[in-house]
A and B are shown apart, each in its own frame.
Chain A
Amino acid sequence: QVQLVQSGAEVKKPGASVKVSCMPSGYIFTDYYIHWVRQAPGHGLEWMGLIDPRGGSTTYGRKFQGRVTMTRDTSASTVYMELSSLTSEDTAVYYCARDWTTRGRADWFDPWGQGTLVTVSS
């Protein structure tokens, strides 16, 4: 079955960077875009951007431009999301999620990874 497995929880100090991985399985890795969405404690969901695993092209949300980098390693069938210059406001659960369609972008998501808690604290 299709699943997305993410790396484990991270604790980072303010100003540091974090890199979260997402390993899809159960389908051809390059067939679907992967999105990243975060959820801060007590807050709603926030879309960060997406990557096309086929060519590596990315689209980032305006709020995260200049601070987020999404990459992929086709040999490892893994996508990565790196967020830099962390502050306490970045404390959240970070999810990767597969786009719904193989025909470009649908921009709704299913399934989602299990989530990775990133805690930013001095």
Chain B
Amino acid sequence: DIVMNQSPDSLAVSLGQRATINCKSSQSLLSSFTNQNYLAWYQQKPGQPPKLLIYWASTRESGVPDRFSGSGSGTDFTLTISSLQAEDVAVYHCQQYYTSPLTFGGGTRVEIK
């Protein structure tokens, strides 16, 4: 199984500042056939189910604010919130869909400093 490791486990960021979350996979998620990275990011607010933010490592889902961006390739990926808003307090999860079983990182909690 592909193991997904997220860091940090939690971070506190001031309003308007940048938040950076890292996700590392135990094997490459880059397909030589499609030249795509098989990685998605989700946001989970307290008491709610996860919500899709990004797929193909950097494609923002429709309706997701452009302060959220994804980057990276191969085994190392990053989710960046460029200017943290109060409504961004949540746990963020990365997920690989390169191969079955689909696997998730352990999550990163983002709070306001």
Which residues of A does B touch, CB under 8 Å?
A: 35, 43-47, 59, 61-63, 95, 97, 100, 106-115
Set of chain B residues within 8 Å of A95, measured between Cβ atoms? 49-50
Are A107 and B104 touching (Cβ within 8 A)? no
Given A44-B105, A44-B106, A45-B104, A110-B51 contact (CB < 8 Å): yes
Number of A-B residue pairs having CB atoms within 8 Å of each other in the complex: 57
B68 interface hit (Cβ, 8 Å): no
- How many chain B residues touch the partner (CB < 8 A)? 21
Q: B49 near A47 (CB under 8 angstroms)? A: no
- B49 in contact with A45 (CB, 8 Å): no
Complex contact A47–B102 (CB within 8 A): yes
Cross-chain contact of B104 among A46, A100, A111 (Cβ < 8 A): A46
B84 interfacial by beta-carbon distance below 8 Å: no
The answer to whether A109 touches B101, judged by C-beta atoms less than 8 angstroms apart, is no
A24→B24 CA distance, assembly (Å): 33
Given contact pairs A44-B107, A110-B61, enumerate 8 new A-B contacts (beta carbons under 8 Å): A44-B93, A45-B95, A45-B107, A47-B103, A111-B49, A111-B52, A112-B49, A112-B51
Are A63 and B101 touching (Cβ within 8 A)?
Answer: yes
Cβ distance A68 to chain B, nearest Cβ, rounded Å: 12
Partner of A59, one of B49, B52, B100, B105: B100
Please state if B51 and A47 are interface contacts (CB–CB under 8 Å): no
Considering the complex, which residues of chain B in the window 49-69 have a beta carbon less than 8 Å from any beta carbon of chain A? 49-52, 55, 61
Report the bound CA distance from A51 to B112 in whole Å: 39
Q: 27 interchain pairs (CB within 8 A)? A: A44-B93, A44-B104, A44-B107, A45-B93, A45-B104, A45-B107, A46-B104, A47-B103, A47-B104, A61-B100, A61-B101, A61-B102, A62-B1, A95-B49, A95-B50, A108-B52, A108-B55, A108-B95, A108-B97, A109-B40, A109-B42, A109-B52, A110-B51, A110-B52, A111-B49, A112-B49, A115-B49
- Report A-chain residues with C-beta under 8 Å of the C-beta of B52: 100, 108-111
Query: Residue B55 contacts which of A46, A100, A112, A114 (CB distance < 8 angstroms)?
Result: A100
**C-alpha spacing A100/B51, complex, angstroms:** 12
Q: Which residues of B contact A114 (CB under 8 A)?
A: 49
Nearest-CB residue, chain A, relative to B103: A47
